[in-house]
Amino acid sequence: MIGYARRTWIVLWKDLLVERRSKESLNALLFFALLLLFLFQFALGLDQDRLHAALPGLIWLGFVLAGLLGLGRSFVAERDNDCWDGLRLTPGDKSAIYLGKLAANLMVMGAVEVVILALFGLFYNVNLVSVLGPLAVVLALGTLGLATVGTLFAALTAGVRARELLFPVLLLPVQVPVLLATVSATQIVLAGQPLGDAGAWLRLLAGADLVYLVIGLLTFEFILDA
Amino acid sequence: MIEAAGIRKAYGATLVLDDVSLTLPAGQCLALLGPNGAGKTTLLRILAGLVRPSAGRLRVGGADAVRDPEAVRAQVGMVAHGSFVYEDLTARENLRFWAVMGGLDASPARLRERLQAVELDAVADERARTFSAGMKRRLGLARVTLGRRPLLLLDEPFSGLDRHGQKWLVEFLLAFKAAGGTVVLTTHSFGGGLSVADRVVILAGGRVLLDRAAADLPIDELHRIYDDIVEGAAAS
């Protein structure tokens, strides 16, 4: 168990260190998020009612598009210099690698989401501070749902030539329950209603997260060996 | 240590290895020679348990490579073309990562000792991105010697190494063998290969065309046989 935790931790440490040094994902994602905000602003104009109605969808559209870019690259470093084979040669339960990668992806996505949210608040003059607690719960569950499947499919498509095309094609249909639940729960939270009103959506979200996580842990070794 | 019989590997209609059989006792070194595309790297990956043969039997250290590749992998230290090096990590960080992943001693003292052994201690905190191919290969060797894996598989270990590096590698491999370790290496460097090998195998077109004791093969003779065999295989 200690060995498993150490291997999970070292994968997380390695991925965050590589990301901090290369800044490949983070810089691209932040620039991309900024571009999206400008595009949404042009598309929706200054009509605040329209904007508020569309806000939950826009926020998640931003997260999902940024997530597709970031998650899709999470196994690229493993393909360089045959590191993928190195991971296959390591002993023990390979799901520790998946868990470490997932944790690193969650941290990078979380950082990008915080920035995107702050920019949404600034650009569209929306007070997110008053709903920050409930919103954080929805974001955490939604991001976990996106990252669990995203990490698994990133591994699955890492060695494929048409990776950039195949990754979203595989990921988005599987994400439908997560997106449906997160957008609906975000809408309820942003409307100022108590978090309990989004209980059914949050239960669906937590259930989907759990199912995706278990599938990821159980199947990662086969994907690594495929 | 290695018992392979009738190994065959095909990717679709392309036959990469055909009826390869070889045995190698523990403590010996086998040099695999052959032209590009002969199937050397594929054979090495099969021996490592990374690729499943299409047919044939393979036992490595008593473990069945087809039924239990995990047991084979546990005995193998491998330095492939890419050396399993993360470009954005330093030499020390690379070693630390692989030590923890392998469940091995990752203490600073142990990492320092391994880096000294491969003469990379002076650049231990520089990123691997700045290393030459030879330095990355040394880092790969430091990685595989973190543990006590009995079988070392090396893909083109002499390429990218300068004269001093080649000499150092030969000494390193002789010491590894003397400690009871088994080595299989692919190489185009006949001199380097012969200086450590106990056996020489020439592969061409996926078939073993020569399997002989290295002591019976002076380098001139090896060059002549190699040219005859490979040219003959290409002509047929």
Concatenating the DSSP letter of every residue in B36-59 gives TTSSHHHHHHHHTTSS--SEEEEE
pLDDT of residue A77: 82
Distance between CA atoms of residues B142 and A29, nearest Å: 36
The stretches of chain A forming alpha helices (DSSP H) are: 2-22, 24-44, 48-72, 76-79, 83-89, 95-124, 132-157, 163-174, 176-190, 199-225
pLDDT tens-digit series, residues A105-140: 999 999 889 988 888 888 888 888 888 899 999 999
Contacts of B68 in chain A (CB under 8 A): none
Contacts of B70 in chain A (CB under 8 A): 91
A5-9, A144-148, B116-120: segment of lowest average pLDDT: B116-120
Task: Please tell me whether residue B24 adopts helix, strand or coil conformation.
Answer: strand
| A35/chain B closest Cα distance in angstroms | 28
Q: Does A82 touch chain B (CB under 8 A)?
A: yes
Q: Give the position of tokens 């975000």.
A: A186
Say whether pLDDT at B166 is over 90: no
Contacts of A86 in chain B (CB under 8 A): 78, 84, 98, 101
Contacts of B101 in chain A (CB under 8 A): 7, 10-11, 86-87, 90
Distance between CA atoms of residues B8 and A165, nearest Å: 34
Q: Work out the average pLDDT over B161-170.
A: 84
pLDDT of residue A124: 80
Q: Which of B45, B100, B105 to mutate to test the interface with A (most CBs of A within 10 A)?
A: B100
Distance between CA atoms of residues B96 and B93, nearest Å: 5
The stretches of B64-118 forming alpha helices (DSSP H) are: 69-73, 91-101, 108-117
CB A97 within 8 A of CB B98: no
For B172-210, the DSSP string reads: HHHHHHHTT-EEEEE-S-HHHHHHH-SEEEEEETTEEEE
Among candidates B80, B93, B101 on the partner chain, residue whose Cβ is nearest the Cβ of A82:
B80
Contact between chains at B87 and A80 (C-beta distance less than 8 A): yes
CB B78 within 8 A of CB B48: yes
Q: Does B71 touch chain A (CB under 8 A)?
A: no
Distance between CA atoms of residues B41 and B25, nearest Å: 21
Q: Work out the average pLDDT over A71-77.
A: 83
Instruction: Give me the domain span that covers residue A86.
Output: 2-225
Angle ∠(B50,B56,B59) on CA atoms, nearest 5 = 60
For B48, name the nearest residue in chain A, comparing CA atoms only: A89
Q: Could you give the C-alpha distances from B82 to A89, A142, B101, in angstroms and in order?
A: 14, 37, 18
Give the count of domains, chain A: 1
Mean pLDDT, chain B, rounded, equals 89
For A84, name the nearest residue in chain B, comparing CA atoms only: B84
| B46/chain A closest Cα distance in angstroms | 12
Q: Which of A81, A87, A90, A224 to mutate to test the interface with B (most CBs of B within 10 A)?
A: A81
CA atoms within 13 A on the CB side of A103: 17
H/E stretch holding A190 reads helix A176-190
Minimal CA–CA distance to A84: which of B85, B215, B13, B38? B85
Among candidates B76, B96, B103 on the partner chain, residue whose Cβ is nearest the Cβ of A89:
B76
pTM over 0.90: no
Could you count the other beta carbons within 10 Å of the beta carbon of residue A24?
A: 15
Contact between chains at B127 and A21 (C-beta distance less than 8 A): yes
Q: Could you give the C-alpha distances from B157 to B76, B154, B161, B219, in angstroms and in order?
A: 16, 6, 8, 19
Altogether, the residues listed in chain A come to a count of 226
CB B184 within 8 A of CB B2: yes
Q: Give the position of tokens 């990379």.
A: B120
CA atoms within 13 A on the CB side of A140: 7
If one compares B220 and B59, the residue with the highest pLDDT of the two is B59
Q: Work out the average pLDDT over A165-171.
A: 88
Say whether pLDDT at A46 is over 80: no
Which tokens sit at B158?
């002499």
Among candidates B70, B82, B97 on the partner chain, residue whose Cβ is nearest the Cβ of A81:
B82
User: Where residue B9 falls among pLDDT bands split at 50, 70, 90?
Assistant: very high
Q: Work out the average pLDDT over B102-108.
A: 92
Show me where the domains of chain B are located: 2-75+150-235, 87-148
Among candidates A9, A81, A91 on the partner chain, residue whose Cβ is nearest the Cβ of B103:
A91
Among candidates B80, B87, B100 on the partner chain, residue whose Cβ is nearest the Cβ of A7:
B100
Q: Could you give the C-alpha distances from A196 to A33, A141, B173, in angstroms and in order?
A: 30, 15, 67
Q: What is the dihedral sign for C-alpha A146, A148, A153, A155?
A: positive
Say whether pLDDT at B232 is over 80: no
Among candidates A3, A14, A91 on the partner chain, residue whose Cβ is nearest the Cβ of B86:
A14
| B66/chain A closest Cα distance in angstroms | 13
Is the ipTM higher than 0.90? The answer is no
pLDDT of residue B234: 67
pLDDT of residue B164: 83
CB A18 within 8 A of CB A113: no
If one compares A105 and B189, the residue with the highest pLDDT of the two is A105
pLDDT tens-digit series, residues A6-24: 999 999 999 999 988 887 7
Q: Work out the average pLDDT over B170-198.
A: 89
Q: What letter would DSSP give residue B8?
A: E
Size of interface A-B (CB pairs under 8 A): 76
Q: Report strand pairing: B55-60 vs B2-11.
A: antiparallel
Share of chain A above pLDDT 70, in %: 100
| A95/chain B closest Cα distance in angstroms | 12
Say whether pLDDT at A141 is over 90: yes
Q: Work out the average pLDDT over A37-45.
A: 79
The one-letter amino acid at B22: L
Q: Collect all residues with Cβ–Cβ distance below 8 Å to A20 and sequence separation of at least 6.
A: none
Q: What is the dihedral sign for C-alpha A91, A81, A144, A134?
A: positive
Say whether pLDDT at B186 is over 90: yes
Q: Which of B45, B68, B86 to mutate to test the interface with A (most CBs of A within 10 A)?
A: B86
Contacts of A18 in chain B (CB under 8 A): 86, 88-89
Say whether pLDDT at B147 is over 70: yes
The one-letter amino acid at A81: N
Q: Collect all residues with Cβ–Cβ distance below 8 Å to B31 and sequence separation of at least 6.
A: B185, B186, B187, B193, B194, B196, B197, B199, B200, B201, B214
What is the fold of B2-75+150-235? Answer: Rossmann fold (3.40.50)
pLDDT tens-digit series, residues B48-74: 999 999 999 999 988 888 888 888 988
CB B139 within 8 A of CB B83: yes
User: Where residue A202 falls among pLDDT bands split at 50, 70, 90?
Assistant: very high
Share of chain A above pLDDT 90, in %: 46
Minimal CA–CA distance to A99: which of A148, A134, A135, A166? A148
pLDDT of residue B236: 65
Mean pLDDT, chain A, rounded, equals 88
Q: Could you give the C-alpha distances from A135 to A7, A62, A184, A190, in angstroms and in order?
A: 32, 15, 12, 8
Contact between chains at B86 and A21 (C-beta distance less than 8 A): no
Contact between chains at B82 and A83 (C-beta distance less than 8 A): yes
Say whether pLDDT at A217 is over 70: yes
pLDDT of residue B235: 67
Contacts of A101 in chain B (CB under 8 A): none
